[in-house]
């Protein structure tokens, strides 16, 4: 019983603390220092850049991608644009999990910060699967945590926070070697607290806007509660973030 429950709904109360901060904190004391410390790893990341051009082509030619690109209200970026170089080796998408047969493309991001709406395209390679060829739920949890934080952080007073609670519902397994779309939207934000809903779906050529956010049966559903600890404002003054 406990096992079944664990399989379907996982609540990760502390996971995001490390991730949210590690992912988005500015390299400190400075980037040069961080690079010296991690020279070996840094090089590994650079040489691992093997974009799956077939996947990128499939995504960029899709109607949904074209719709998002033409949407004046969406800012487009790649994940690597957002992460300071000194942090890439530690970053989930850009360091630890990046590379051939893992996260095989630089995730493509569309964000409207004020509206609190986010869409990200990933490709989950075959090495991210378990023995049954399904993507590990832990990996999905990390990606959801990271993306939902990214969507919600701009709503917090210091633009940074920590995950107080992440609830995940796994409706269906995702086969390894799949292109997926993550959508997230801020449901509620007030003061130092923000609630974000997210969905993860296997990419489908039929996906179009605006239906994407209202998908009835996504593979994974998530709810993330972010808070900004009171002491964060002092860090902000010191320009650590
Ligand atoms: C976000 O969307 C709103 C409309 O919903 C628009 O007014 C605003 O300019 C957009 N923001 C950006 C940064 O594109």
> pLDDT tens digits, residue range 23-82?
443 333 333 333 333 334 444 444 445 578 899 999 999 999 999 999 989 999 887 777
Q: Indicate which residue's Cα is closest to atom 10 of ligand 1.
A: 73
Q: What is the pLDDT of residue 164?
A: 95
Residue indicated by tokens 């972010």: 226
Q: Indicate which residue's Cα is closest to atom 12 of ligand 1.
A: 73
Sign of the four-CA dihedral 98, 84, 196, 165: positive
Q: Is the CB of 66 under 6 A from ligand 1?
A: no
Q: How much of the chain exceeds pLDDT 90, in percent?
A: 48
For residue 200, what are the β-bridge partners?
182, 220
122-143 exposure pattern, b = at least 16 Cβ within 10 A, e = fewer = bbbbeebbeeeebbebebbbbb
pLDDT band with cut points at 50, 70 and 90 for residue 14: very low
pLDDT tens digits along 88-122: 665 666 666 778 888 888 889 999 999 999 999 99
CA–CA distance, 164 with 229 (Å, rounded to integer): 10
More confident residue, 187 or 53: 187
φ and ψ at 101, to 5 degrees?
A: 65, 5
Q: Indicate which residue's Cα is closest to atom 6 of ligand 1.
A: 73
Least confident residue range of 83-87, 112-116, 205-209: 83-87
Q: What is the pLDDT of residue 3?
A: 41
SS3 25: coil
Q: Is 230 exposed, middle or buried (0-12, 13-18, 19+ CB in 10 A)?
A: exposed
For 198, the token pair is 């997210």
Q: Is the CB of 77 under 6 A from ligand 1?
A: no
Q: Indicate which residue's Cα is closest to atom 2 of ligand 1.
A: 73
Q: Which of 75, 77, 110, 114 to mutate to test the pocket of ligand 1 (most atoms within 8 A of CB)?
A: 114
Q: What is the pLDDT of residue 241?
A: 46
């Amino acid at each position: 019983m406990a096992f079944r429950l664990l399989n379907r709904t996982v609540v990760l109360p502390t996971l995001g603390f490390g991730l949210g901060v590690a992912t988005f904190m500015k390299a400190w004391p400075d980037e040069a220092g961080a690079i010296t410390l991690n020279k070996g790893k840094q090089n590994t990341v650079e040489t691992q850049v093997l974009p799956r051009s077939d996947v990128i082509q499939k995504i960029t030619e899709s109607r949904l991608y074209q719709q998002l690109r033409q949407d004046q209200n969406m800012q487009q970026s790649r994940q690597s644009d957002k992460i300071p170089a000194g942090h890439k080796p530690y970053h989930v998408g850009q360091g630890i999990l990046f590379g051939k047969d893992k996260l095989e493309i630089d995730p493509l991001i569309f964000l409207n910060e004020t509206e609190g709406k986010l869409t990200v395209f990933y490709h989950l390679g075959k090495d991210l699967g378990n023995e049954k060829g399904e993507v590990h739920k832990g990996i999905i949890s990390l990606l959801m945590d990271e993306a939902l934080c990214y969507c919600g952080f701009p709503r917090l007073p210091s633009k940074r926070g920590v995950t107080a609670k992440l609830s995940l519902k796994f409706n269906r397994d995702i086969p390894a070697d799949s292109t997926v779309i993550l959508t997230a939207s801020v449901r509620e934000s007030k003061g130092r607290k923000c609630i974000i809903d997210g969905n993860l779906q296997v990419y489908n050529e039929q996906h179009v806007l605006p239906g994407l956010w209202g998908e009835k049966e996504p593979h994974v559903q998530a709810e993330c509660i972010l808070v900004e600890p009171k002491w964060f404002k002092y860090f902000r003054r010191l320009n650590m973030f």
